[in-house]
């Protein structure tokens, strides 16, 4: 794809890549090119080139901010993805009393996981999982009569449909980090033309500012 673009004379790129894709581009970029990656933070890349610019979320900082709302007893959920495992790693690095749980594949029944009540009672739970699985945890802890201290999540669950996915009674102590600054009505209107809500789409928000840069 890079070579095809080079053949057309392009030297500026916006590339919404995964961590693996960003590392590959880091090894392929030429000195006269500038590549903006809205989807990955620089900390995910090994020895990033100076002409590679990153607009991804600093999840490590978000987790540090969320820990200010937690107690010392921490449980972190992941979904087996590289991002989920990376987020769990950031939580583990900054916690002393730490327990990990996974919701892999199409698991929807968490009875076995949540039956370990001693692990979950009065714990601060990091939802390093997509919104559907996050809603399962928030809902099913009540069914198991587990009393959590807090529910915590990074940018991955900063979405408007979280209010539909998680009932009000189940999100009384839910804290979600957000690194997107408020944007003006003109900017929101431009986003509407492309069916992108810049208040919630981290990739859209970051891509727009990257294009301007």
Q: Strand locations in 18-105, DSSP E?
A: 34-37, 52-54, 73-78, 97-102
Distance between CA atoms of residues 3 and 201, nearest Å: 29
Could you tell me the pTM of the whole model?
0.89
What's the mean pLDDT in 145-163? 92
pLDDT(128) > 90:
yes
130, 107 in Cβ contact below 8 A? no
Tell me the average pLDDT of the chain: 92
DSSP H or E segment with residue 134 = helix 131-143
pLDDT(178) > 70:
yes
Confidence of residue 192 (pLDDT cuts 50, 70, 90): very high
- 7-14 long-range CB contacts below 8 Å, 24 or more apart? 12/36, 14/38, 14/207, 14/210, 14/211
Beta bridge partners of 152: 126, 175
Residue 105: exposed, middle, or buried by beta-carbon count in 10 A (0-12, 13-18, 19+)?
A: exposed
pLDDT tens column, 32-74: 999 999 999 999 999 999 999 999 999 999 999 999 999 999 9
Per-residue pLDDT at 107? 66
Per-residue pLDDT at 14? 95
Q: How far is CA 10 from the centre of its chain?
A: 31
12-14 and 52-54 beta bridge pairing: unpaired
- Given strand 150-153, what is the order of strands in its sheet? 97-102, 73-78, 124-128, 150-153, 174-176
């Amino acid at each position: 794809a890079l070579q095809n673009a080079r053949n057309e004379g392009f030297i500026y790129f916006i590339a919404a890549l995964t961590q693996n894709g960003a590392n590959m581009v880091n090894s392929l970029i030429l000195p006269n090119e500038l590549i903006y990656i809205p989807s990955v933070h620089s900390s995910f890349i090994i020895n990033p080139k100076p002409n590679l610019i990153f607009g991804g979320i600093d999840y490590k900082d978000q987790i540090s901010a969320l820990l200010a709302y937690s107690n010392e007893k921490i449980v972190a959920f992941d979904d087996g993805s590289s991002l989920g495992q990376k987020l769990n790693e950031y939580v583990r690095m900054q916690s002393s009393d730490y327990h990990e749980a996974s919701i892999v594949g199409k698991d929807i029944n968490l009875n076995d996981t949540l039956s370990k009540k001693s692990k979950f009672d009065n714990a601060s739970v990091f939802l390093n999982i997509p919104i559907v699985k996050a809603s399962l945890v928030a809902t099913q802890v009540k069914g198991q009569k587990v009393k959590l201290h807090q529910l915590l999540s990074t940018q991955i669950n900063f979405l408007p449909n979280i209010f539909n996915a998680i009932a009000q009674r189940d999100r009384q102590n839910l804290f979600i980090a957000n690194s997107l600054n408020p944007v003006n009505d003109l900017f929101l209107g431009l986003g509407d033309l492309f069916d992108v809500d810049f208040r919630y789409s981290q990739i859209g928000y970051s891509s727009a500012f990257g294009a301007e840069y």
